[in-house]
Amino acid sequence: MRMGWVIATVIAACLIAPAPSGAAPPPGPCAGQSAKHGRAAANLERRARILKARGRPTAARALRRRARWEARLARYYEEQARARGLPRGAAVTLSTLLRSQVLRRSFLTGFEQLTPENEMKMERLQPARGVFRFAEADRMVRFARRYCKRVRGHALVYGRQLPHWATDGSLTAGQLGFEMEWHVQRVVERYAGRVADWDVVNEAIDADGDYTQNVWYLALGKAYIERAFRTAHDADPTARLYYNDSGIELPDHPHTLAVRKMVADLRRRGVPIEGVGIQNHVSTSHHASEAQMARTIRGFTDLGVKVAITEMDVRLDTPGTPARKLDSQRLVYRSAARACRKNPSCTSFSTWGVGDGVSWLGPAAAGLLFDRGYRRKPAYRAVSRSLGSPETP
Ligand code: XIL
């Protein structure tokens, strides 16, 4: 009888416990990653021993350094598979990725998802009307796939970072609508099956809760939003399509309420929107508490959509000693990560950059999880622990 109770309680606990929906690492190339890097480490070690025996200690040391890195990657993938935490993501630019080995390494062992910071925006992908330039975005997607990182596509329809031809007033409303759909279709089709999540529409509502007066709205009214989602869905029915916005982390803010209303309306009309991205650009003095963030996330997930934290940074703007400030930052990050982890419909947690030295806010803001020298800040561990992610040393 008692045994029956225990079993029933365990089963009930398993059913109730939130199973983070985005928790499983992507299948396929991930499965063999740990073994692959482990083999590479062993090979490099063996070659290093041979070189040393042949009297070439400098070359041997260089190989040994590479072997240590491969071994670290092997450990990271092993821990990732075991931990199955919620994916951590970061925005990166192709140029820093190519230029900085330390950024690459911090990213590879610190994050499971990559957002191209600018390379998938319209001004970059279609600089001239009808002329698509995919090379940079392609390289980023290839890099991500080589290391088994998910890609968050950002952003298909946005009022900023537009090519000149779309904003110079030379196109009619009809032409703009056509160009918008053509752009969405080309881009989503190209990355179908490789980009799992898309920010389809970015920042369409402003802080007062009104529609942002961008070129798309001015030409097409709010219908552009629906058209963008439907076109993206037709281009890749398996992609998860998000509306992404900043300033929507507080549950009762007019901006948040307006986004909620818009999403509810889209859902009611069967528009294929699957989630809301909360950018969460905040500071140590202005941010949501854990309870507020939990309420904001629930406000969206109650509508039947998923949520992702997509661009978090926490500017240091409160007085105090450096250690005090870093601790305040840790607590702000921890609140958001915990609120996300506790809601089974929160799918990933991303920061807008890896290290403070390459943040869009400039180094003084010091808003990211790694400092200018790519050392892990206290917030890094807090986020990793809250999400259940590996902290490979
Ligand atoms: C920013 C990039 O980080 C900068 O490099 C660029 O100069 C301007 O755009 N919200 C968004 C992002 O959705 O696309 C923005 O990215 C930051 C704010």
Across 186-336, the runs of DSSP E, i.e. the strands, are 197-202, 240-245, 275-278, 281-283, 306-315
Cα of 360 to ligand 1 centre, how many Å?
A: 7
What's the rounded Cα separation, in Å, for the pair 378 and 375? 10
Residue 88 near residue 383 (C-beta atoms within 8 A): yes
Q: Measured from the CB, is residue 132 less than 6 Å from ligand 1?
A: no
Rg over alpha carbons for the chain, rounded to the nearest Å, is: 22
To test the pocket of ligand 1, the residue of 94, 114, 118, 124 to mutate (highest count of ligand atoms within 8 Å of its CB) is 118
User: Is 63 part of a structural domain of the chain?
Assistant: yes
110, 250: one domain: yes
We report the CATH number of the domain holding residue 289 as: 3.20.20.80
Among 72, 95, 121, residue at a domain's last position: 72
55, 107: one domain: no
| List of residues 6+ apart from 130 with CB closer than 8 A | none
62, 89: one domain: no
For 272-319, write each residue's pLDDT tens digit.
999 999 999 999 999 999 999 999 999 999 999 999 999 999 999 999
Predicted confidence (pLDDT) at residue 16 exceeds the cutoff of 70: no
Q: Measured from the CB, is residue 117 less than 6 Å from ligand 1?
A: yes
User: Is 137 part of a structural domain of the chain?
Assistant: yes
157, 216: one domain: yes
Cα of 96 to ligand 1 centre, how many Å?
A: 15
* 3-class state of residue 58 by DSSP: helix
Q: Measured from the CB, is residue 328 less than 6 Å from ligand 1?
A: no
Cα of 186 to ligand 1 centre, how many Å?
A: 22
Q: Measured from the CB, is residue 246 less than 6 Å from ligand 1?
A: yes
> pLDDT-derived band of residue 30, with 50, 70 and 90 as boundaries?
confident
The question of whether 203 is a catalytic residue gets the answer yes
Can you tell me which residue has the tokens 């409303």? 173
Give whole-number Cα distances, 332 to 167, 313, 329, in Å: 38, 10, 5
- Report the pLDDT value the prediction gives residue 234, as an integer from 0 to 100: 98
Give whole-number Cα distances, 197 to 36, 166, 239, 241, 371, in Å: 27, 25, 6, 6, 28
- Report the pLDDT value the prediction gives residue 11, as an integer from 0 to 100: 39
User: Is 392 part of a structural domain of the chain?
Assistant: no
20, 117: one domain: no
Higher pLDDT, 25 or 263: 263
Domain that holds residue 184: 85-387
Q: What is the mean pLDDT of residues 353-376?
A: 97
61, 172: one domain: no
- Report the pLDDT value the prediction gives residue 29, as an integer from 0 to 100: 55
User: Is 321 part of a structural domain of the chain?
Assistant: yes
Q: Which residue of the set 112, 117, 181, 311 is catalytic? A: 311
To test the pocket of ligand 1, the residue of 119, 152, 246, 311 to mutate (highest count of ligand atoms within 8 Å of its CB) is 311
Kindly give the number of the ligand 1 atom that is closest to the alpha carbon of 202: 13
Tell me what the pLDDT averaged over the chain comes to.
93
Q: Measured from the CB, is residue 279 less than 6 Å from ligand 1?
A: yes
Q: Measured from the CB, is residue 118 less than 6 Å from ligand 1?
A: yes
Among 10, 40, 72, residue at a domain's last position: 72
Cα of 311 to ligand 1 centre, how many Å?
A: 9
275, 158: one domain: yes
Cα of 369 to ligand 1 centre, how many Å?
A: 18
For 53-98, write each residue's pLDDT tens digit.
999 999 999 999 999 999 999 999 999 988 889 999 999 999 999 9
For 189-236, write each residue's pLDDT tens digit.
999 999 999 999 999 999 999 999 999 999 999 999 999 999 999 999
**Domain total in the chain:** 2
| List of residues 6+ apart from 216 with CB closer than 8 A | 157, 159, 176, 180, 224
264, 347: one domain: yes
Q: Which two tokens stand for residue 77?
A: 């993938």
Please tell me whether the overall predicted TM-score, pTM, comes out greater than 0.75 for this model: yes
42, 15: one domain: yes
Q: Hey, CA dihedral for 384, 385, 390, 393, is it positive or negative?
A: positive
Cα of 117 to ligand 1 centre, how many Å?
A: 7
User: Is 78 part of a structural domain of the chain?
Assistant: no
Among 72, 93, 118, residue at a domain's last position: 72
Neighbouring-strand partners of residue 276 = 243, 307
Kindly give the number of the ligand 1 atom that is closest to the alpha carbon of 352: 3
Q: Is 355 exposed, middle or buried (0-12, 13-18, 19+ CB in 10 A)?
A: buried
- Report the pLDDT value the prediction gives residue 84, as an integer from 0 to 100: 84
Kindly give the number of the ligand 1 atom that is closest to the alpha carbon of 91: 3
- Report the pLDDT value the prediction gives residue 5, as an integer from 0 to 100: 43
User: Is 393 part of a structural domain of the chain?
Assistant: no
User: Is 79 part of a structural domain of the chain?
Assistant: no
Nearest C-alpha neighbor of 59 from the set 71, 47, 69:
47
Q: Which residue of the set 45, 203, 226, 249 is catalytic? A: 203
Kindly give the number of the ligand 1 atom that is closest to the alpha carbon of 203: 13
User: Is 317 part of a structural domain of the chain?
Assistant: yes
237, 104: one domain: yes
To test the pocket of ligand 1, the residue of 95, 114, 117 to mutate (highest count of ligand atoms within 8 Å of its CB) is 117
145, 45: one domain: no
Predicted confidence (pLDDT) at residue 2 exceeds the cutoff of 70: no
11, 102: one domain: no
Kindly give the number of the ligand 1 atom that is closest to the alpha carbon of 281: 18
Residue nearest to atom 12 of ligand 1 (CA): 117
Cα of 38 to ligand 1 centre, how many Å?
A: 37
Residue 276 near residue 290 (C-beta atoms within 8 A): no
